[in-house]
Amino acid sequence: MTEEPTRTPDKVQHAARHSTDARPCCTRLVGLGVQLGTTTVLENVNLHIHCGEFTAIIGPNGAGKTTLLRALIGEVRHTGQLVFVPSTGTSEPRRPRVGYVPQRMEIDKTTPLTVLDLFAGVQTRRPVWLGHTRRMRDAAGMTLERVRGADLLDKRIGQLSCGQLQRVLLALALSPVPELLLLDEPLAGMDHRGTLLFYQIVSELRLEMDLSILLVSHDLAAAAGVADRLVFLNRTILADGLPTQVLQSPLVRDTFGLDLAGIPPMPTASLSSMPARCCVPEGKTQ
């Protein structure tokens, strides 16, 4: 299997587009900190995420990666600023509209909730127990089409494979189009084929919608393989740059035991070397 199927063309086109753009939009985290009880989980996190950029946050367990995401979606209180700066106009700084793809959801297999129910529940106020309008159905179907999941509309959430579920959640996070797309360990529990398909779709949509993506992962190889930029977080940002640069940082190599594992100081970038940990292989669940 070849590695990084879509990454290189992505980056080229992306650079070309941005060279004509005087000031791309971006999301800024300025001096962001989170205090949980008496513990300082995050402090002085400064990050500029440009539109169209795919940034991966890596770090050891307990580094505050998930807390950072929870702060970005507003689930925990944070100090410092989180502002979205649009490319045109001089609108007031405000929080970015986020799209959030949660970590693998623990779903009771018997939950009577179809993909369409999920879409309607998230996107509308019309109570789901009254059924769905034709318009809702069509809109959800079109959104699912983008993630190659139009056939999943009437499936129950519990029936989906990990990969299918993550794609459905991705489609949900993309409507309305977010200013910052947050992916929380989307690989966890997904099989190899599901992972490749997921990232292929993410790459396509990134170009199409000029999405800013923030991926949180403890899987260094996967993160380095798909992202333009790696950010090493451990309570605050300790390294930030191209995957090649960050993977050379002694701190990162030490934390992830790269030298112990005999991995040379270059991007591993091999999706194919990732362990397949999926509960259900893609396409074998119906």
Partner 1 sequence: MNLWHCLIDVLPFQWAHYAFMQNALLAILLVTPLFALLGCLVINNQMAFFSDAIGHASLTGIAIGVLLSLADPTWSMLGFALFLAVAISVLRRYSAASTDTLIGLVMAFAMALGVVLLSRGGGFAKYSRFLIGDILTITPREIVRLAVALVVVVVIWCWAFNRFLITFLNRSLARSRGVHVWAVETGFAAIVAAVVAISIPWVGLLVINSLLIIPAATARNVARTTAQYVILAVVFSCATGVLGLVGSFYWGTATGGTIVLAAMALYVVSLFFRR
Footprint on this chain of partner 1 (rule: CB under 8 A)? 70, 73-75, 98-100, 102, 105, 107, 110-114, 116-118, 120-122, 124-132, 156, 169, 172-173, 182, 184
Instruction: Report the distance separating Cα 123 and Cα 125, nearest Å.
Output: 7
Q: Report the residue number, 118 or 237, with the smaller CB distance to partner 1.
A: 118
Q: Report the residue number, 133 or 273, with the smaller CB distance to partner 1.
A: 133
Q: Report the residue number, 70 or 192, with the smaller CB distance to partner 1.
A: 70
Q: Count Cα atoms within 13 angstroms, Cβ side, for 175.
A: 21
3-state secondary structure of 121: helix
Report which secondary-structure segment, H or E, holds 20: none
Minimum distance from residue 129 beta carbon to partner 1 (Å): 4
Minimum distance from residue 122 beta carbon to partner 1 (Å): 6
Minimum distance from residue 110 beta carbon to partner 1 (Å): 6
- Whether the Cβ atoms of residue 195 and residue 24 lie closer than 8 Å to each other: no
- Whether the Cβ atoms of residue 192 and residue 74 lie closer than 8 Å to each other: no
In this structure, what token pair is assigned to residue 128? 């789901």
- Whether the Cβ atoms of residue 52 and residue 103 lie closer than 8 Å to each other: no
Alpha helices in 174-209 (DSSP H): 192-209
Q: Report the residue number, 169 or 258, with the smaller CB distance to partner 1.
A: 169
- Whether the Cβ atoms of residue 43 and residue 236 lie closer than 8 Å to each other: yes
Minimum distance from residue 265 beta carbon to partner 1 (Å): 36
Q: Report the residue number, 101 or 230, with the smaller CB distance to partner 1.
A: 101
DSSP letters along 130-168, please? G---HHHHHHHHHHHHHTT-GGGTTSBGGGS-HHHHHHH
Q: Cα–Cα distances in Å, from 188 out to 14, 21, 112, 165, 191?
A: 28, 36, 24, 12, 9
Q: Report the residue number, 23 or 97, with the smaller CB distance to partner 1.
A: 97
Q: Report the residue number, 132 or 193, with the smaller CB distance to partner 1.
A: 132
Minimum distance from residue 100 beta carbon to partner 1 (Å): 4
Minimum distance from residue 159 beta carbon to partner 1 (Å): 10
Minimum distance from residue 2 beta carbon to partner 1 (Å): 34
